[in-house]
């Protein structure tokens, strides 16, 4: 999947208060989101007022308010934004389709046949999501495909819901870091002129310990918080009829493996699933489209899916508008210049590469955009102090697979929290963005590996030129 991530905002914005003025809107946004997330925000709609307030503060502080407005609109209308929104919509519709056709009950039936309880289901969920993300190379696709299927089923089995959500996003982060076709892998390797095959091979020593640590944590939390009393005994036996719908996610994954576009895979999957549901009799015709003439409304699982995606879509549009103003302020360029002047040793070089990348991720909220923004600095600094190409690429990817998957204002975390709404049909509550990030033990495991890499030189090769060759 190739995304056009070129920055269209080449203009430079100036703010009253200088750097602090440029940062003020983003600080308001982060503080507001964290407060709401910690209090257990019901969904991402609670973040809308915070984003509007942040953009409004930015407009007040901007010296050229027309330019600020244009940058906001330009950021909102980026191609990547439209791709994400279309993905949210299609995936939400597919999730409702799979629920209506009994696939969740089929998963329950399989779990019953395998004697899986809530604990075993969380472990299986993590492993399945690791496999899906490794196959598709897309964390978004993994969350979109797996959440509507695995979250309700695990909830019915009595699984600890934050651990279950954490296992899904953790499996998504697994493939994002090491899959050869992952956007993060490709961007980090190619930005440093490193070979993708060699880069992926070098990441085994990072991902295996992190994944094992995550698996242990998922097992411990699943056991500690296990609540079999909450399992719904009426549906624990499940029904096998919906198993045929397994062909839908299988088709979507196959299309992704063929290197097709995200929209291609999801739209084909939706069309195929709808036809399959109608032919098999699992999807009533009235669920496709029906008219309530008394209330002047149309009813359809398609409409329900789009409504479910509205909250996340508006959040994404507003966030990308806010981020565009921060990028246009030139703060990242100033940070890179600051770091370049203070890099004196190899350890300094690795530390500043990590610091600049971390700041880029935190401020842009998009890992690929962050990688592209720090490419020149990382290349020049790495060559000057002989930090190998592969090690530089690994540093970039480690950071890209940590913060976006644990902090409550990043889209992957918000998306995962949004997808837990798929359990509502079965009386299963949602999980807050804060809990999603807290229980993503895969990314916390990668953080441990990152700290070992930076402070203790883990993974360093004594002959960087040789490893690059």
How far is CA 18 from each of CA 15, 220, 334, 360, 453, rounded to the nearest angstrom?
A: 5, 48, 12, 18, 35
pLDDT above 90 for 133: no
Map residue 344 onto helix, strand or coil: coil
Per-residue pLDDT reduced to its tens digit, 282-338: 888 888 888 877 777 888 989 988 888 888 788 889 988 988 888 888 877 777 778
Q: Which domain holds residue 250?
A: 18-468
Question: Percent of the chain at pLDDT above 90?
Answer: 30
Per-residue pLDDT reduced to its tens digit, 109-121: 777 777 777 888 8
Residue 7 lies in a domain: no
Per-residue pLDDT reduced to its tens digit, 343-393: 778 888 898 899 989 988 888 777 877 887 788 788 888 888 888 999 999
Using alpha carbons, select from 185, 126, 162 the residue that is nearest to residue 367.
185
10 Å CB burial of residue 426 (0-12, 13-18, 19+) is middle
- At 190 the pLDDT is 85
Confidence band for 187, pLDDT divided at 50, 70 and 90:
confident
Residue 233 lies in a domain: yes
Using alpha carbons, select from 332, 331, 406, 401 the residue that is nearest to residue 368.
401
Residue 211 lies in a domain: yes
Question: Percent of the chain at pLDDT above 70?
Answer: 92
pLDDT above 50 for 1: no
Residue 11 lies in a domain: no
Residue 36 lies in a domain: yes
pLDDT above 80 for 169: yes
Residue 216 lies in a domain: yes
Residue 35 lies in a domain: yes
Per-residue pLDDT reduced to its tens digit, 399-408: 999 999 999 8
- At 276 the pLDDT is 93
Per-residue pLDDT reduced to its tens digit, 82-109: 887 888 788 888 888 887 888 777 877 7
Number of domains in the chain: 1
Per-residue pLDDT reduced to its tens digit, 31-43: 888 787 777 655 6
Residue 13 lies in a domain: no
- At 465 the pLDDT is 55
Per-residue pLDDT reduced to its tens digit, 218-274: 999 988 887 554 555 554 555 788 888 888 888 887 887 787 877 888 899 899 999
List, as own/partner pairs, every contact residues 232-237 make where C-beta atoms lie below 8 angstroms and the sequence separation is at least 24, other chains included: 232/156, 232/426, 232/427, 235/105, 235/108, 235/156, 235/426, 236/108, 236/112, 236/156, 236/157, 237/108, 237/109, 237/112
């Amino acid at each position: 999947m190739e995304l056009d991530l070129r920055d269209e905002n080449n203009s430079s914005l100036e703010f009253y208060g200088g750097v602090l003025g440029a940062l003020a809107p983003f600080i308001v946004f982060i503080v507001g989101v964290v407060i709401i997330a910690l209090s257990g925000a019901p969904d991402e709609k609670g973040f809308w007022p915070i984003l509007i307030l942040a953009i409004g503060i930015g407009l007040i502080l901007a010296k050229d308010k027309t330019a600020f407005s244009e940058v906001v609109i330009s950021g909102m209308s980026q191609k990547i934004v439209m791709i994400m929104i279309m993905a949210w919509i299609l995936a939400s519709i597919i999730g409702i389709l799979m629920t209506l056709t009994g696939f969740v009950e089929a998963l329950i039936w399989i779990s019953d046949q395998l004697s899986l309880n809530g604990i075993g289901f969380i472990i299986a969920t993590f492993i399945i999501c690791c496999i899906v993300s490794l196959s598709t190379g897309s964390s978004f696709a993994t969350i979109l495909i797996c959440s509507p299927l695995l979250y309700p089923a695990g909830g019915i089995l009595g699984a600890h819901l934050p651990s279950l959500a954490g296992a899904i996003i953790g499996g998504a982060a697994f493939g994002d870091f090491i899959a050869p076709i992952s956007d993060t892998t490709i961007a980090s390797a190619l930005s440093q002129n490193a070979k993708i095959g060699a880069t992926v091979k070098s990441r085994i020593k990072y991902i295996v310990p992190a994944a094992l640590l995550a698996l242990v944590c998922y097992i411990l939390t699943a056991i500690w918080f296990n609540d079999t009393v909450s399992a719904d005994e009426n549906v624990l036996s499940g029904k096998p009829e919906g198993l045929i719908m397994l062909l839908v996610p299988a088709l979507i994954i196959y299309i992704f493996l063929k290197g097709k576009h995200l929209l291609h895979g999801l739209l084909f999957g939706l069309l195929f699933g709808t036809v399959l549901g109608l032919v098999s009799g699992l999807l009533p015709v009235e669920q496709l489209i029906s008219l309530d003439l008394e209330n002047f409304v149309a009813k359809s699982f398609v409409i329900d899916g789009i409504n479910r995606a509205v909250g996340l879509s508006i959040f994404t549009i507003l966030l990308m508008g806010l981020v565009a103003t921060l990028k246009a302020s030139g703060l990242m360029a100033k940070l890179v210049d600051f770091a370049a002047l203070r890099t004196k040793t190899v350890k300094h070089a690795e530390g500043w590469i990590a610091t600049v990348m971390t700041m880029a991720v935190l401020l842009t909220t998009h890992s690929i955009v962050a990688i592209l923004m720090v490419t020149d600095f990382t290349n020049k600094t790495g060559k000057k102090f002989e930090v190998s190409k592969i090690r530089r690429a690994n540093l970039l990817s480690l950071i890209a697979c940590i913060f976006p998957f644990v902090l409550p204002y990043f889209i992957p975390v918000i998306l995962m929290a949004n997808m837990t709404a798929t359990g509502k049909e079965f009386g299963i509550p949602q999980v807050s963005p804060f809990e999603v990030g807290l229980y993503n033990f895969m990314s916390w495991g990668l953080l441990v590996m990152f700290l070992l890499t930076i402070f203790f030189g883990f993974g360093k090769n004594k002959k960087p030129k040789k490893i690059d060759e």
